[in-house]
A and B are shown apart, each in its own frame.
Chain A
Amino acid sequence: MTSFKPTRRAVLKGGLTSAAALAAPALLSSAARAAAEQITVSDVGGAIAPALRKAFYDPFEAETGIKVVSVAQEPNPVTQIKLLVDTESYIWDVSMTTPDHVKQLEAGPDYTTPLELDVDESEYVAGTIKPNWLGFSVFSVNMALNTAQLPGAKPQSWADYWDVENFPGRRGLYRSPWGTLEMALLADGVAPADLYPLDVDRAFASLDKIREHVSVWWTAGAQNTQILQSGEVDMTDTWSARAYAAYEAGAPVEMVWDGLYSVDGWSVHKGTPRMEAAQEFVRFCARPEQQAIYSSNVANGPSAMKAYDFISEERATVLPTAPGNVDGLRLMDSDYWGANYDALAERFNEWLLMG
């Protein structure tokens, strides 16, 4: 082990106490003492990283003196979070998670920690405040069109998307049951209020009708932007910020606000030696004025409705939680998905590959 020392020292010198805590369990207690000086936050990185830094990391640092080191994580960090808690290697203190992730994290032994938020829930979008999770970035699962080569009329709903005769065009669909089953049910005439619990058999029967007309089963968010932007498809399901990225890039992309919304948020990992600073950070992110900065820099909506006081009207039109847009959207039931995702993912795969 002695040969590893230079690495450890370099890590310490860089001020990455969290990594040091991992590299040398013996140093854990001293790292804990240094807790208040720095926390490590994992987010999905990429284009939203600058918005997060501008809206949350830097202002928090300026206000509290606690440095925020941000690192990129997998879109689904559950595996890594479980590993780091199980091995007590707290390389991250706070991670970007969805309610589904939180469900998965609480399913067996609880991997999360209470946040002690002190907010008025009525001022936040429904489903964005939980004891152990703060939603701060609302995204929608809806339809987007690229009108450049759209051969016929513009579909206005999922029923139109399923209607291949009256609405011709190349179609894309997410290669996952998550959101896709809901779209299939909406297309089949299920009212948004009656979606959950999902009528799974009916959803798959509905999917049977569209399967052969889907040209691209996209697998990653960037691919969704890519196929919309390049006109590879004329219509596809999308996540609001992804479609907006294609629009911002100059592609003739239009949103159809028919679908669902869900939320990205923060959770703090159980047992982290920097718990208090981590909780303080999450509480900071609940502030409307910080969320307004975030939503002005990336096309996801704030969870604090008061944030709209600080957002320009023009900007608000592209955000899913803006009053006009949110009407066509229903909150995705993360309890349902947390409990059923595994089985449905298996069935979806089987349906897609064996059918």
Chain B
Amino acid sequence: MAELSATAVREGKVREKKRFNPVWLAAPGVAFLLFFMVMPMGQIFHLSVHESSGEFTWRFMEKAMAPGLYARVLGMTFSVSLQVMLWCVVLGYPLALWLARMEGRAQHLAAFCILLPFWTSPLIKNFSWMVLLGRTGFVAGLAESIGLSPEALLYSNTTVIFAMTHTLMPLAIITMLPALQQVDRRVLQASATLGATGGQGFWTVMLPLSMRGISAAGLLIFVTALGFFITPALLGGPQQTMIGQLIIMQINQLQNWQQGAALAVVLLVTALVAVFVFDRVFGISSVTGGSGAPRRHDHPVRRLGIRMSEGMGKIARRLGGGMSESTARRVHNTFAGVMVFLLLVPVLAFVPMAFEDSVNLYFPPETLSTRWFAELFEAPVWRSAILRSLGVGLATAALTLVIGGLAALALVQGRGKAATPIFLLFLTPMIIPPIALAVSMFYLFAQIGLVATNLGIIIGHCVIAMPIVFVVLLTTFKGYDWRLNDVSLTLGASRLQSWRRITLPLMKGGLIAGFVTGFLQSFDELTVALFVGGGLKTTLPRQMWDSINLQATPIIAAASVLVLVIVLLFFGAMELAQMRRRTATKG
């Protein structure tokens, strides 16, 4: 953050002399992504249109796009991703709103409960769901005891969409949260003064004002869901196969690099098209646009949206007449409570499972002991994996925050037409299946001596974490009223002072969210660690993956509990830092 403000100072000085265009702040990030993402992806693209003998061919691309297996799987991938996106936004928005309305410690606690499941590796959660939703599992037992007999809870469309929504919902919430927090509450009070009911105020004021966060969240969820493979592989049946699984199969099982590369290219291109369409329909460009005001008031889709929200407001006014403010709040609180509980279930279920004495994963545990914790702490492989994951995570978070922060700043303050390409570039890592990124990075890193090094993993994680961190920061910078800086400058503050006393305190929430997101993206990342780690530099998810792959014992649950503890410590330390800074600011 110091670097951020220092850059700002430098930028300020340069600007005074030569009218420096802040869009150049994106340069380090652009160079980083060009070298570590675009170039290796170029190699993959090159692979997809060449025979192994080196001749040019379209045959792999043709096969990837021909009607049949691949087209069907691509369709399934899009359909699942869309449904997951809708559920995440529809269910996540009230939760984010609930969170935004809270204050102080209560808010931090609630945010923590929502983020906890996000910080737990999808691999662990999927195993947890398998135990809980299994034929002899806890949920089936519960259903039986109340007279229901569910045929099969696992291996269906519903399970996959449920588990993916569950995994991505916290991401939707943290993406929407900063935008919601920036909505001035007095605007709502003003609408109430002018006679709007609570419901009407929500539909006509709150929702349109937070649309930026919603669309960013929707896009993020959609493109992330496109590359999912662990959930459909473990909780879905053959009919739920997604394109990421086929890419992995082509590269890992068939060694058909060209076909895998072709599928990755098709996925990449179609995802970019989706981003373009999303931009047209939902107006994501307001995120990249210059000022806070949306550019296209007259766009038909936008007009439709405004009319719809007005209509909903009127309906809400009529329906809501019978519901008092306090009842509405109670309904909202109950909904949030249930959702938070659901989000926590697979994570908390691991705590008792870790204290199981046998080698089985049971919920609830049958016999109690702490033997798995003893085993966890006795094994040096687990200890070193934990330390490495922590170190790599912190380094990744710092690097991503600086690179992504500069780029986000460039988009918000910069001039010119570079904004949209930069925005798309920084979002691109999300829509490349991690396996394709990891494999292409292995190629590149082997050439420059970065395979099996911590730095290699950090760079890989930085690419993977970049989009989320970038969007979080962009949303923050976007929602910040930059005129405040001009005002403070007018009032005699130096640029440094205005950043330190006004900009940073106001954007602190977003910056910390960015750092935490970067750390956690790295902390539970598996694929890059698998390839780039080369088997020598084992991270925690990699270690868990190894043990889950060969035999799933409660040591995985014990490791998950340890992860939760580490995350708790991390969270606590951050809270403390924030409190100190608050005190320091006051002093």
Check if B136 sits within 8 Å of A230, measured CB to CB: yes
Closest to B52 in A: A108
- Asked if residues B253 and A222 are in contact (CB atoms below 8 Å), the reply is no
Asked if A46 and B249 sit within 8 Å, CB to CB, the answer is no
Q: Contact flags (1/0) for A314-341 with B, using CB distance below 8 Å?
A: 0000000000000000000000000001
Instruction: Report the Cα distance A330→B87, complex, angstroms.
Output: 50
Interface presence of B237 (CB below 8 A): yes
Which chain A positions have C-beta within 8 A of B206?
Answer: none
Select one of B69, B455, B548, B549 contacting A349, CB under 8 A. Answer: B69
- Whether the pair B446, A89 counts as a contact (CB closer than 8 A) is yes
Q: A89-B451, A91-B451 are in contact. Are A221 and B550 (CB under 8 A)?
A: yes
Does B550 lie within 8 Å of A44, measured CB to CB?
A: yes
**B130 closest partner in A (C-beta):** A226
- Among residues of B, the one whose C-beta sits closest to the C-beta of A27 is B449
Q: Which residues of B contact A73 (CB under 8 A)?
A: 535
Q: Which residues of A are found within 8 Å of B191, using beta-carbon distances?
A: none
- Contacts of A228-259 to chain B: CB distance below 8 A: 229-233, 242, 245, 248-251
A159 at the interface (CB under 8 A from B): no
**Within 8 Å CB of B255, what residues of A?**
78-79, 82, 104
Bound Cα distance A354, B446 (Å): 39
Give every chain B residue within 8 A of A346 (Cβ-Cβ). 69, 254
Residue pair A91, B535 in contact (C-beta under 8 Å): yes
Q: B364 → chain A, closest Cβ, in Å?
A: 14
**A107 to B547 alpha-carbon distance, docked (Å):** 31
Give the distance in Å from the alpha carbon of A233 to the alpha carbon of B136 in the complex: 10
- Say yes or no: is B124 at the interface (Cβ < 8 Å to chain A): no
Q: Is the CB of A221 within 8 A of B549?
A: yes
On whether A79 and B549 interact (CB within 8 A), knowing A22-B534, A91-B451, A354-B69, the answer reads: no
Contact yes or no, B256 A342, CB < 8 A: yes
Question: Which residue on A lies nearest to B253, using beta carbons?
Answer: A76
Chain A residues, CB < 8 A from B531: 80
Q: B449 contacts A23, CB within 8 Å?
A: yes
Closest to B360 in A: A249
Determine whether A219 belongs to the interface, using a CB cutoff of 8 Å to chain B.
yes
Determine if B238 and A217 form an interchain contact, defined as CB atoms under 8 angstroms apart. Answer: yes
In the complex, per-residue mask of B182-213: 1 if CB is within 8 Å of any chain A CB, else 0: 00000000000000000000000000000000
How far apart are the CA atoms of A352 and B134 in the complex, in Å? Answer: 23
A22 and B134 within 8 A (CB): no
The reply to whether B551 and A72 contact each other, CB–CB distance below 8 Å, is: no
CB pair A25–B442 under 8 Å, yes or no, is: no
Chain A residues with Cβ under 8 A from B550's Cβ? Answer: 44-48, 221-222
- Do B449 and A24 touch (CB < 8 A)? yes
**Across the interface, which residues of B come within 8 angstroms of A108, CB to CB?**
52
Q: Which residues of chain B come closer than 8 Å to A193, judged between CB atoms?
A: none
Q: Is the CB of B535 within 8 A of A92?
A: yes
Q: How far is the CA of A242 from the CA of B550 in the complex (A)?
A: 8
B575 close to A (CB within 8 Å): no
Interchain CA distance A76-B549 in the complex, whole Å? 12
Answer whether A46 and B135 are a contact pair too, CB < 8 Å, given A91-B535, A104-B255, A349-B69: no
9 pairs across A/B with beta carbons < 8 Å? A22-B451, A72-B542, A73-B535, A80-B531, A91-B451, A215-B152, A229-B360, A341-B254, A353-B239
| Interface residue ranges, A against B (CB under 8 Å) | 1, 4, 7, 11, 16, 18-19, 22-25, 40, 42, 44-48, 69, 71-76, 78-80, 82-84, 87, 89, 91-92, 104, 108, 149, 170, 175, 215-217, 219-223, 225-227, 229-233, 242, 245, 248-251, 341-342, 345-346, 349-350, 352-354
The 5 closest A-B pairs by CB, nearest first: A46-B550, A71-B535, A87-B446, A45-B546, A47-B551
